[in-house]
Structure 1
């Protein structure tokens, strides 16, 4: 129990009530969650304050397509993104959308997704990610259940939203494409009395408008994340500003526990769905530190190429992805011949034992890192120092393998949307130095 502290004694069964075991907390949260960062009252503050501190830092990037080929990443600065967010927010309000209304966002990760989200944060709208992986009819259900009145939609997803007509038109009033709108789509939407805008046209609505930003409170809802739950229809989880700003402080505390920290020079590859809480909160943390977020092209086959071009410093994944990485690397090692296989096994065992003795990553086996494991490191762009795994448990042997061959910290955790700060606390606590640490870090939960 080295990493746990008992904060409540267990209770024996009495008066018909069952017994209750002790309650433990992580040593990093023995007095409760760390206090939020001073000045952060809302998700809008996270972005606004960073713009003031790092206006010229690269914020959002995508690969430029030249003659049908992907080139280098092209970036928008924090100030450039901020200016667009203000225009988007004014355009939203000019459509008659008031604070506390529900705004849907439907599509793959992109700069427009983040800007739409920040416009919601600015004007106190509830951001409601829409996604179809919850099953047939999920998009329709979420729009109707959350009473979404305006939705930002990836260009190729517009057809999916139109399939929900006329059932969703009771609530939907405005659609905004991340790209263009075809005449046929416009005709179909206007037939039901709704408005639809191409991205550039929508931004122009906000050019001559200036709406006052409403005051935000910690307890205000900033997003409603829908999850499959155990049975029945998707369930909407209401997440407050306080949950996310508390999370940011918790991440800072726990990264410090492994001698790591996020900083403005960090680079993140955004490919896990922003409609899921894992990627959403990671990107909030990056925004808070003035770091850079580059988006993939949306094709799994091109992911490694995007990684090589972006050269991220932090890589997030789910166990299914990391299991594939593990299997693929093992196949290559086995096919490398007896000598290479033997050398790898020796280097692997040596470094793993060195790490278990408490040696730091850069000092555990520097020669082997350079001559044996460097190819794996370069496969992730060459700069990755932290790998974060979430959404489900990562197998112990896969975690240990990745810690050795990627030359990076591998931290994992999983949790529920309903317990946002808890799942992040657990993520950074679970695996520190000793691979024997597989204790569940239990935090007191009040429901």
Structure 2
């Protein structure tokens, strides 16, 4: 019963280790809560993907299979899976979402840098967006929306405009209904390292983004109920 909620300890003939994932805030060497990507090595491990050398090279490094699962060592030696490195999650109706792929697609919409969020307790996706300043200000001038950039970002018409742009892009790329963005928050300040929201290589730190925008995320979901 002490191992309830875990996948148990390593089995014989298999080595297991954690690899830190700094961009997600996971430290495999943490004394309090060692977390990181689960890597497996052993003679019983598969040799690679059939006729897919590209995928094999991606996941097998120096004999270690990088599973893509984020694990946490428990005090009794068992492993608990707490996250996915590639950020695939399930919505409340059971549909799986590959959020990084969606961000790449919606990132093709004009004037947006986007962070997409969803979880297993909600049925739809929301997003925090850094709109292009010049593009949004030109739209505002043409549509009778006045004020500085921050004021424009808070305007309901501006949010509706950005949602329409995202919807057009989603339809062009033939996304499914559950993959569409249903609410947005326009953030006038770019995601930055000062607030610990991105890495030095500009990768999004998703746990930190969620912590920083948790109140805004909650308000977006409340507004749709």
Query: In which range does the TM-score fall when normalised by the shorter chain?
Result: 0.3 to 0.5
- Specify which structure has the higher proportion of helix: 1
- Specify which structure has the higher proportion of strand: 2
Structure showing greater radius of gyration is 1
